[in-house]
Amino acid sequence: MRRISHFISGVITSDTRSKIGPVFNPATGAQIAEVEMASSHTVAQAVESASTAFSSWSEVPASARARIMFRFKDLLERRADDFAKMVSLEHGKTLDDARGEIVRGMEVIEFACGIPHLMKGEFSDQVGRGIDTFSKRHAVGVCAGITPFNFPIMVPLWMLPIAIVCGNTFVLKPSEKDPSASLMLAELLMEAGLPAGVLNVVNGGREAVDDLLLHPNVAAISFVGSTIVGEHIYKTAAAHGKRVQALCGAKNHMVVMPDADLDQTVDALVGAAYGSAGERCMAISVAVAVGDVGDELIRRLSPRVRSLKIGAGCNPDTEMGPLVTQEHRAKVLSYIAKGVEEGAELVVDGRRASLCDIDTGFYVGASLFDNVAPSMCIYKDEIFGPVLAIVRVPSLGAAIELINLHEYGNGASIFTSSGDAARAFDHQVSTGMVGINVPIPVPVAFHSFGGWKRSAFGDRNVYGPEGVGFYTRLKTTTSRWSSGTRVSGLAMPTLG
């Protein structure tokens, strides 16, 4: 059986101390590989490799670092089909969805290629007599990324290209559920000319994460995943003096106004709720029907949900693949049962579709609930599966209040023909990302991604300008070169 190891100092590295974990093909339920779960020794080895590489890599000119990223992006574009097939095999998502995440990841690489401009400092001439002030950005050191199973290419590419071009070295800890793509990325970066040790990959679970959080040579931690884990990472790493950006759970709402184009809205809602089987932190899991639009929304939406083609991601006809593991499938099924128990109306029952049509694999069909109340678990909790809840409210104000009262604040969208409604929504809603007639408002790479409330911990968002700020430290120098001028006395110096 194929064995997945680690990538340290430019080579695949096995760990004889490792425990072994299974890697499954979610479409069949069969184990297809085994992954080594890094011991503390291997994590320390990876951090040491990154620490050793930092001194020379941080001195490489930004333009030379950017050229490696240019080559990396070109190689990834050529190999995109290979990467998509691996993602589909280990995660279960469709090939089209896998190709889509690769494209979004490549957009961050393209942004990172502009690092010579992005790291430019500022200069102020003659702030005082013969005195100039200038600022510059420095790399922070060894950075670590802890990434989730649902985007095994895109999320690592939110982090490592920007960290690396800023002059840092990086240790990536991907999800043990679909680890192969991260090793493929590391090998491709070496092919592009990245020096050994600048990027290292360690596979593992909580023990490997905690080793990274506690290691004194790790200066910054980036994380994407659940709120429970993200809060632990934030508190632990911050307590040990590390920078932290942690992007966490979500319950994203789409407000549907009575004046919305319902053909456009339903198309958007089907893709946003059920794409990647709902395993997206920006998936729309709640549709908020305002006024009298609810009945017509359900009438148009339910046949589309029932007709979704479920199957293996490698099948070109598949619209929705399986969930990532049997355990996660059981969790999603339990939420559907809980919704029925709590009194929501199950308009489309995905349990029936999955059990009747698919004999093997970790499948759950698309489910649609109507008349969901804010007190219900299927409204409050992040299910992370193909379950959409419809909540009915009387007004836009009630819709905004509903969203703002939720503990998560990742993203929210509104579908409307009214500029006034759209502007009020954008101004008043308490989420970090907003879509106006856009269902999944993931910012492009030259902006930044991040939520509010318990959807994020830390002071900086990922990629874009916020990413550059996170992976650099600002140094400001005040310089005097004029001759014959003396500074004396004990009073606070001024620059007059």
Alpha-carbon distance of 399 to 133, in angstroms, equals: 50
Nearest to 388 by CA among 419, 405, 365: 365
Q: Is residue 260 part of a domain?
A: yes
pLDDT of residue 352: 78
- Confidence grade of residue 198 (pLDDT, cut at 50, 70, 90): very high
The single-letter code of the amino acid at 203 is: N
Higher confidence at residue 153 or residue 490? 153
Give 254's strand partners: 287, 413
- Confidence grade of residue 493 (pLDDT, cut at 50, 70, 90): low
Q: Which domain holds residue 110?
A: 2-248+455-477
26 lies in the same domain as 66 = yes
- Confidence grade of residue 18 (pLDDT, cut at 50, 70, 90): confident
Alpha-carbon distance of 321 to 274, in angstroms, equals: 10
DSSP 284: E
Report helix, strand or coil for 271: helix
Q: Is 16 exposed, middle or buried (0-12, 13-18, 19+ CB in 10 A)?
A: exposed
Number of domain units in the chain:
2
Could you tell me what percent of the chain has a pLDDT over 90? 92
Q: Is residue 463 part of a domain?
A: yes
Q: Which residue has the tokens 């793509």?
A: 181
Is 281 an annotated catalytic residue? yes
pLDDT of residue 118: 95
193 lies in the same domain as 108 = yes
In sequence order, the 6+-apart residues with CB closer than 8 A to the CB of 359 are: none
92 lies in the same domain as 189 = yes
- Confidence grade of residue 129 (pLDDT, cut at 50, 70, 90): confident
Overall pTM > 0.85:
yes
The model's pLDDT over 302-354, given as tens digits with 9 standing for 90+, comes to: 999 999 999 999 999 999 999 999 999 999 999 999 999 999 999 999 997 65
pLDDT of residue 196: 98
- Residue 361 reports pLDDT greater than 80: yes
256 lies in the same domain as 237 = no
pLDDT of residue 307: 95
22 lies in the same domain as 154 = yes
- Tokens representing 91 are 């995660």
In this structure, how many other beta carbons lie within 10 angstroms of the beta carbon of residue 132? 15
Q: Is residue 75 part of a domain?
A: yes
235 lies in the same domain as 361 = no
Q: Is residue 490 part of a domain?
A: no
319 lies in the same domain as 419 = yes
Average the pLDDT over 210-234 and give the result.
97
- Tokens representing 195 are 């020096």
Q: Is residue 447 part of a domain?
A: no
CATH of the domain at 408: 3.40.309.10
pLDDT of residue 459: 82
Per-residue exposure over 315-351, b if at least 16 CB sit within 10 Å of its own CB, e if not: eeebbbbbbbbeebbeebbebbeebeeeebebbbbbb
Q: Is residue 483 part of a domain?
A: no
The model's pLDDT over 424-468, given as tens digits with 9 standing for 90+, comes to: 999 999 999 999 999 999 999 999 999 999 999 998 999 999 999
Average the pLDDT over 217-224 and give the result.
98
- Residue 485 reports pLDDT greater than 70: no
- Confidence grade of residue 356 (pLDDT, cut at 50, 70, 90): very low
In sequence order, the 6+-apart residues with CB closer than 8 A to the CB of 382 are: 226, 227, 249, 250, 251, 285, 408
173 lies in the same domain as 272 = no
156 lies in the same domain as 284 = no
168 lies in the same domain as 61 = yes
pLDDT of residue 360: 84
Q: Is residue 304 part of a domain?
A: yes
DSSP 324: S
Q: Is residue 185 part of a domain?
A: yes
CATH of the domain at 157: 3.40.605.10
106 lies in the same domain as 77 = yes
| Average model confidence (pLDDT) across the chain | 95
Q: How far is CA 400 from CA 70, 256, 361, 370, 485, in A?
A: 43, 12, 39, 19, 62
The strands making up 456-458's β-sheet, listed across from edge to edge, are 11-13, 6-8, 199-201, 169-173, 142-146, 218-224, 243-247, 456-458
Alpha-carbon distance of 488 to 492, in angstroms, equals: 10
- Residue 355 reports pLDDT greater than 60: no
Catalytic residue among 248, 281, 314, 356: 281
3-state SS string for 64-133: HHHHHHHHHHHHHHHCHHHHHHHHHHHHCCCHHHHHHHHHHHHHHHHHHCCHHHHCCCCEEEEEECCEEE
The model's pLDDT over 87-113, given as tens digits with 9 standing for 90+, comes to: 999 999 999 999 999 999 999 999 999
Torsion angle of C-alpha atoms 310, 316, 319, 324, degrees rounded to 10: 70
- Confidence grade of residue 17 (pLDDT, cut at 50, 70, 90): confident
212-217 contacts: CB < 8 A, separation 24 or more?
Answer: 212/43, 212/47, 212/144, 212/146, 212/171, 212/173, 213/237, 213/240, 213/242, 214/240, 215/43, 215/44, 215/47, 216/240, 217/47, 217/48, 217/50, 217/51, 217/141, 217/142
Helix (H) or strand (E) holding 5: none
The model's pLDDT over 52-92, given as tens digits with 9 standing for 90+, comes to: 999 999 999 999 999 999 999 999 999 999 999 999 999 99
Q: What is the largest CA-CA distance in the chain?
A: 90
Contact yes or no for 242/221 (Cβ under 8 A): yes
Q: How far is CA 486 from CA 82, 399, 481, 494, in A?
A: 67, 65, 11, 13
165 lies in the same domain as 234 = yes
Q: Which residue has the tokens 């319950």?
A: 251
Average the pLDDT over 380-395 and give the result.
98
